[in-house]
Structure 1
Amino acid sequence: MRDWEDTTSGSGRAAPRTPYLTTAPAPEGRPRLFCFHHAGGSASAFTVLRNTIASRVDVLPVQLPGRENRLEDIRPGSMAELVADLDEHLDPYLTGPYAFYGHSMGALVAHDLTARRQARGATLPARLIAGAARAPHLSPAFAAAYADSDDDLVKKIIGIGGMSPDLLQYPDWLRPALELTRADLRLCTTRTALPIEPLACPLDVFYGAADPLVSEEDALAWTGISSVDSKLHRFEGGHFFFLQESPAPFAARLTTLLHRTRDLVREH
């Protein structure tokens, strides 16, 4: 069965059959990287990455409900509900050598989706890459801020580099941005205690040296989660190191990891 429809998107690619993707995977043999965005973010956060490594990696940003082209879609009531829906919608695309990259909230989404797929015996990512997030058995960084006042929440988001101070001049834009971030942070607090069963896929943990939310110790706590292999990768920058003006080190590290994974898959 085909995993896309016979219509084309603005990118020239086939349009996906699921609203979680803006385009269907390319038919070529490039490794697929499904990217899960941060709280208050959207699929467009990975546009620069997609353009930077498009010739070597098929970057597929995942668009959660309630933002950009999915503005009117109902947001999930819990992380478990979101992950179950993602598992159903993305399953036809999770073939061949594919990997997950999740940033901040997205790392928790990617982990929980991998754990769900392992529990039901589905194909796992050839590599799980978690960025800027505390290990899934720890309390999620920043999530409790969903209960803060608007002023306090704005200050915190600007402080970690998640919002430009210029947005304060545009209250009509600021209000929905805050509402979305608050909803996403609340979603993180709905995660139930998952059995910490080692994942049967390699795990790479990315963290920013100057991240005020995720310490090196928090990042290290991920490394017992894979039964295959775990590696820690340090980047210059803070919580949003992947959105810095020069994303080259981040993009290069991802490309190397994914092609190494694809080579290993071919060998076996």
Structure 2
Amino acid sequence: MFGITGSLAAPWWTGEPAPLAERSLLCLPYAGGGPQTYRGWGELLGPSVEVLAMTPPGRGRRFSEEPCRDLPSLLTSLADAVPRTPQRPYVLFGHSLGATVAYELCREIRRRGLPMPEGLVVSARQAPGLPWRFRHVSGLPDDEFTEALRELGGTPEAVLAQPDLMSLLLPALRADFAIVESYRHRDEPPLDVPILALAGTEDDRATAEQMAGWAGRTTASFALHEVQGGHFFVDTQADAVTGLVSDFL
């Protein structure tokens, strides 16, 4: 079961109770994703790690809530929830959009003077400050937006092929891509948090070269590893990804 832990103080996090865990891994999803990506990670990482995955507004049990369409409004609520959630030291993991959210969440936590994570894992996301090289899709008509999702991958064809289902999902999907497209990095001092960067060997949206710049975002240690696969290797290479995360932890 991948349910809601009884200790959670906010609706943001989904996970399994891990009473023997030494630290928590807080996982943030890619655009259009949700906690299902991290289902089974607790078993892969073992009992010493509590895996908690973010459920954004407009998804899953929060379907009735209005999705966030910009990063500042998302961070305000998320930063309120994070320090109350882990019952132990924590590390942030984010894939694609989730990497940007995790990084900016670290900076917001620092601005508030709250307990910082022990580490940050950024996966399949080019370094902050690099220009966005892809067309904006969040405002496209429904059929063109759906086709853009199909080209990107990550959304099952069985879902894309159901217009009624897509009509329910489109507001949250568009909101995620609006966050991606409106994001503008603002310079601040580097984080004093170790960073692990993961790049897909076949991912042209965030190559290893484009991710190497994450090294400049921390005064602590930095490591970059490649994982076999395209942009959504987090779904197809769970064993490899969790192995690298485990070594980082």
From 165, 176, 200, the equivalent of 2:168 is: 176
Cα RMSD (Å): 2.3
Q: Matches of 2:39 and 2:235 in 1, distance apart?
A: 10
TM-score normalized by the length of structure 1: 0.84
* Residues 5-43 of structure 1: per-residue CA shift (max 9 Å, x gap): xxxx98584252201013586332332100000111111
Greater alpha carbon shift after TM alignment, 26-35 vs 143-152: 143-152
The alpha-carbon distance between structure 1 residues 113 and 12, as it changes in their structure 2 partners (threshold 3 A), is closer
The alpha-carbon distance between structure 1 residues 176 and 211, as it changes in their structure 2 partners (threshold 3 A), is farther
1:62-101 map, 5 Å? 62-94=54-86, 96-101=88-93
Q: Unaligned regions of 5+ residues in structure 2, if any?
A: none
Map of 2:147 onto structure 1? 155
1:117-128 map, 5 Å? 117-128=109-120
SS, match of residue 40 in structure 2: helix
Q: Unaligned regions of 5+ residues in structure 1, if any?
A: 1-8, 259-268
Q: Matches of 1:141 and 1:54 in 2, distance apart?
A: 38
Q: Matches of 2:57 and 2:161 in 1, distance apart?
A: 26
Q: Matches of 1:179 and 1:75 in 2, distance apart?
A: 7
Q: Matches of 1:65 and 1:216 in 2, distance apart?
A: 31
Q: Matches of 1:175 and 1:141 in 2, distance apart?
A: 28
The alpha-carbon distance between structure 1 residues 16 and 143, as it changes in their structure 2 partners (threshold 3 A), is farther
Q: Matches of 1:63 and 1:221 in 2, distance apart?
A: 29
The alpha-carbon distance between structure 1 residues 152 and 41, as it changes in their structure 2 partners (threshold 3 A), is same
SS, match of residue 233 in structure 1: strand
The alpha-carbon distance between structure 1 residues 91 and 12, as it changes in their structure 2 partners (threshold 3 A), is closer
Partner amino acid, structure 2, of 1:30: E
Q: Matches of 1:174 and 1:10 in 2, distance apart?
A: 24
Partner amino acid, structure 2, of 1:252: G
Contact (CA 8 Å) 1:25, 1:93: kept in 2 or not?
no
Structure 1 residue 98 displacement after superposition: 1.0
SS, match of residue 16 in structure 1: coil
Map of 1:261 onto structure 2? none
Q: How many residues align?
A: 249
Are 2:197 and 1:205 equivalent residues in the alignment? Answer: yes
Map of 1:40 onto structure 2? 32
The alpha-carbon distance between structure 1 residues 138 and 88, as it changes in their structure 2 partners (threshold 3 A), is same
TM-score normalized by the length of structure 2: 0.90
